[in-house]
């Protein structure tokens, strides 16, 4: 796993930025050249001095200083460009992962294991700086490798036993590193779930939207306790991890000093027995220590890369999931809505056994306004997800104009569908951008916002529809009530040039008067769009041509409001009357 993911991470980063690795390689050559010039130059100067040849020694010194100045200039310049390429590459990896999350099969976005992997990946990159460390160690690895290759031939020429001493020390170092990596893997496996809970409570206790509830209900102290509990748990795990890493770093230091003593002792021995000159002795000891340090550094970087790859394994858990249909360009072009038909559709959410929809069938024709009602858990929102192609059916099929919806090219199909989800989201952008990010037709944007009942609100704003929702981007940003935000979401759906509108609980945050205003302008809002309403509020059904009644995943009725009200023992009659009693 380590080897494959290390290679994969290298391939991924190389693909995203070849420039980073080219600059790193050139910089490594410069660093290796500095090492060679330093070792060999010092040997030449010492040899000249032992022969009392001052002129030659000064000449070598001048040449070495000249080389050092040029190499230092190159090092500074290349390091600056490499640092820029490094930062750009890190941003590209983050963007690559974000893009994957946006394109992945929707089922994974409701899968706790996948969400854990996303949180672990973010935790590794943001909290442990694992990607940054991996990239920096890759630069150092290349540098150490070139230095080793440059000097090892020289050492072997004099005495290969020195290399054996170095390799013994490196081998011990590597074994200790293996144990360290295993400990780190165990730690990281444990910390993921705790960290996700910590992040959740961290957001909750700092999010302003929760503060009113904290002040009214005895929730603030409880949430703060839970936040502190998971914070303490996470911090303790990090402290234990740092202590473990600290112990292993001490082991590395002891091994390194033992290796240095062995090399110095052996070189001193052969210098005496073979009557080496002072210059050659300096060259050999300096080269040996440089190679020892380089091999030690190379092994350390490998171990540290391994540790960071373990941390970054979750990145591949995120990236390895198959893309959803949102990225596919296969399929036929989707025409405007004429009919939508569910034929014997059965559906169960992945990883569960409960059947949500049980062999349901119904057909909707162009221009119809359909209401789908039922108790919680009856399968209403699941129908929306299936039409939106978030999931595929277990059996049966969904036909758009007589063709299976999965046979259509995704983007052309989704352009024909606009939706307001019950958990809709608005963004910290302007009101206008929340309706259409490209703002292709601001007059029509304003018209849609006015039609949903926001005219007075918007006309009283200093920047009209260009007012920011939130103060994230602008100090003059505004906040809207839940009902006002829901109206913006409805306006967004109505603005889209689609032929089918799906409104899942579209008025749940609206007061009765605002809800009545929406339905009063119902036909103006939806125009010629075929519309599907999913709602607990039965008032929407009065405006619809037909009502589909769901119970426990099955269709128990499919008729108009007047006809359904004739059946006084039916579910619809009971639901409608139960709600109407509240307004009497």
Q: Say yes or no to pLDDT of 152 above 80.
A: no
Mean pLDDT of the chain: 82
Does 521 reside within a domain? no
Does 518 reside within a domain? no
Residue-wise over 35-73: b if at least 16 C-beta within 10 A, else e? bbbbbbbbbbbbbbeeeeeeeebeebeeebeebbeebee
Of 36-50, 213-227, 375-389, the range with the lowest mean pLDDT is 213-227
Q: Specify the CATH number for the domain of residue 160.
A: 1.20.1560.10
Q: Say yes or no to pLDDT of 516 above 70.
A: no
Residue where one domain finishes, among candidates 319, 340, 371: 319
Q: Which residue, 397, 417, 410, 415, is CA-closest to 325?
A: 410
Q: What is the mean pLDDT of residues 226-232?
A: 75
Q: What is the pLDDT of residue 510?
A: 63
Q: Identify the domain containing residue 363 by its residue range.
A: 326-416+499-512+528-584
Q: Say yes or no to pLDDT of 246 above 90.
A: no
Q: What is the mean pLDDT of residues 481-488?
A: 84
Residue where one domain finishes, among candidates 270, 291, 319: 319
Q: Say yes or no to pLDDT of 519 above 80.
A: no
Q: What is the mean pLDDT of residues 199-207?
A: 71
Q: Which residue, 376, 385, 494, is CA-closest to 435?
A: 494
Residue where one domain finishes, among candidates 290, 319, 348: 319
The answer on 147 and 260 residing in a single domain is: yes
Q: What is the pLDDT of residue 583?
A: 46
* pLDDT digits 0-9 by tens, 50-69: 777 888 888 888 998 898 89
DSSP 418: E
Q: What is the pLDDT of residue 202?
A: 74
The rounded percent of the chain whose pLDDT value lies above 90 is: 22
- In this structure, the number of other CB atoms found within 10 A of the CB of residue 331 comes to 18
Does 522 reside within a domain? no
Does 135 reside within a domain? yes
Does 22 reside within a domain? yes
Q: Say yes or no to pLDDT of 30 above 70.
A: yes
DSSP 342: E
SS3 annotation, 60-109:
HHHHHHHHHHHHHHHHHHHHHHHHHHHHHHHHHHHHHHHHHHHHECHHHH
Q: What is the pLDDT of residue 393?
A: 94
pTM assigned to the model: 0.68
The answer on 429 and 361 residing in a single domain is: no
According to the per-residue pLDDT averaged within each range, which of 45-54, 140-149, 161-170, 345-354 is highest?
Answer: 345-354
Of 131-140, 239-248, 392-401, the range with the lowest mean pLDDT is 239-248
Q: Say yes or no to pLDDT of 122 above 90.
A: no
CA distance 493 to 417: 9
- What would the two tokens of residue 234 be? 């996470």
The answer on 154 and 63 residing in a single domain is: yes
The answer on 194 and 63 residing in a single domain is: yes
The answer on 455 and 350 residing in a single domain is: no
pLDDT band at 564 (very low <50, low <70, confident <90, very high): very high
- What is the count of structural domains for the chain? 3
Does 301 reside within a domain? yes
The answer on 453 and 411 residing in a single domain is: no
Does 446 reside within a domain? yes
CA distance 108 to 352: 13
Q: Specify the CATH number for the domain of residue 348.
A: 3.40.50.300
Q: Say yes or no to pLDDT of 115 above 70.
A: yes
Q: What is the mean pLDDT of residues 417-444?
A: 86
The answer on 390 and 336 residing in a single domain is: yes
According to the per-residue pLDDT averaged within each range, which of 292-301, 408-417, 574-583 is highest?
Answer: 408-417
Q: Say yes or no to pLDDT of 326 above 50.
A: yes
* pLDDT digits 0-9 by tens, 160-195: 777 777 777 777 777 777 777 777 667 766 666 666
The answer on 553 and 462 residing in a single domain is: no
Q: Say yes or no to pLDDT of 584 above 60.
A: no
Q: What is the pLDDT of residue 81?
A: 93
The answer on 438 and 340 residing in a single domain is: no
The full length of the chain comes to 584
Q: Which residue, 432, 427, 426, 398, is CA-closest to 413?
A: 398
The answer to whether 376 touches 422, Cβ cutoff 8 Å, is: no
The answer on 315 and 205 residing in a single domain is: yes
The answer on 92 and 64 residing in a single domain is: yes
CA distance 171 to 493: 64
The answer on 379 and 258 residing in a single domain is: no
Does 520 reside within a domain? no
């Amino acid at each position: 796993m380590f080897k494959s993911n290390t290679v994969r991470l290298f391939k991924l980063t190389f693909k995203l930025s070849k420039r980073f690795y080219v600059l790193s390689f050139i910089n490594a050559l410069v660093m290796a050249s500095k090492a060679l010039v330093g070792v060999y130059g010092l040997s030449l100067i010492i040899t000249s001095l032992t022969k009392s040849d001052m002129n030659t020694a000064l000449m070598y010194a001048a040449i070495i200083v000249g080389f050092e100045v040029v190499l230092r200039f190159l090092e500074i310049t290349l390091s600056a460009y490499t640092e820029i390429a490094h930062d750009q590459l890190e941003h590209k990896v983050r963007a690559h992962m974000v893009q994957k999350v946006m394109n992945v099969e929707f089922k994974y976005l409701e899968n706790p294991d996948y969400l854990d992997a996303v949180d672990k990946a973010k935790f590794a990159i943001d909290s442990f700086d694992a990607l940054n460390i991996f990239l920096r160690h890759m630069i150092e690895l290349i540098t150490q490798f070139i230095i080793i290759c440059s000097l090892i031939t020289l050492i072997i020429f004099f005495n290969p036993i020195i290399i054996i001493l170095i390799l013994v020390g490196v081998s011990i170092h590597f074994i200790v590193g293996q144990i360290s990596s295993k400990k780190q893997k165990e730690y990281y496996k444990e910390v993921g779930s705790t960290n996700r809970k910590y992040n959740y409570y961290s957001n909750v206790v700092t999010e302003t939207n929760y503060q009113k509830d904290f002040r009214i209900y005895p929730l603030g102290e409880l949430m703060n306790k839970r936040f502190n509990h998971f914070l303490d748990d996470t911090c303790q795990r990090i402290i234990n991890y740092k202590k473990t890493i600290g112990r292993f770093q001490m082991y590395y230091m002891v091994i390194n000093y033992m290796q240095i003593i062995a090399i110095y002792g052996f070189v001193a021995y052969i210098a005496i027995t073979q009557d080496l000159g002072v210059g050659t002795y300096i060259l050999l000891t300096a080269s040996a220590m440089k190679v020892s340090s380089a091999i030690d550094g190379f092994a350390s970087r490998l171990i540290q890369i391994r540790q960071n790859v373990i941390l970054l394994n979750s990145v591949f858990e995120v990236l390895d999931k198959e893309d959803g249909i949102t990225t596919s360009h296969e399929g036929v072009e989707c025409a405007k809505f004429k009919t939508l038909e569910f034929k014997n559709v059965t559906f169960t959410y992945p990883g569960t056994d409960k059947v949500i929809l049980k062999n349901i069938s119904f057909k909707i024709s162009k221009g119809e306004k359909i209401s789908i009602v039922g108790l919680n858990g009856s399968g209403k929102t699941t129908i929306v997800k299936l039409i939106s192609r978030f999931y595929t059916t277990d059996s049966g099929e969904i036909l758009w104009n007589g063709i299976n919806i999965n046979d259509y090219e995704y983007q052309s199909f989704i352009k024909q569908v606009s939706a307001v989800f019950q958990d809709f989201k608005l963004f910290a952008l302007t009101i206008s951008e929340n309706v259409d990010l490209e703002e292709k037709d601001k007059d029509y944007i304003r018209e849609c916002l006015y039609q949903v009942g926001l005219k007075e609100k918007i006309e009283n704003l200093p920047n009209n529809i260009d007012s920011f929702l939130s103060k994230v981007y602008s100090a003059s940003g505004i906040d809207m009530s839940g009902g006002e935000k829901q109206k913006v979401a409805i306006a967004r759906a109505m603005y889209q040039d689609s032929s089918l509108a799906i409104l899942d609980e579209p008025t749940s945050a609206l007061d009765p008067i605002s809800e009545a205003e929406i339905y009063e302008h119902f036909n103006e809002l939806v125009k010629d769009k075929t519309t599907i309403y999913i709602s607990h509020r039965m008032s929407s059904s009065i405006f619809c041509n037909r009502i589909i009644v769901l119970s426990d995943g099955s269709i128990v009725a499919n008729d108009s409001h007047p006809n359904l009200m004739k059946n006084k023992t039916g579910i619809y009659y009971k639901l409608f009357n139960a709600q109407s009693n509240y307004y009497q």
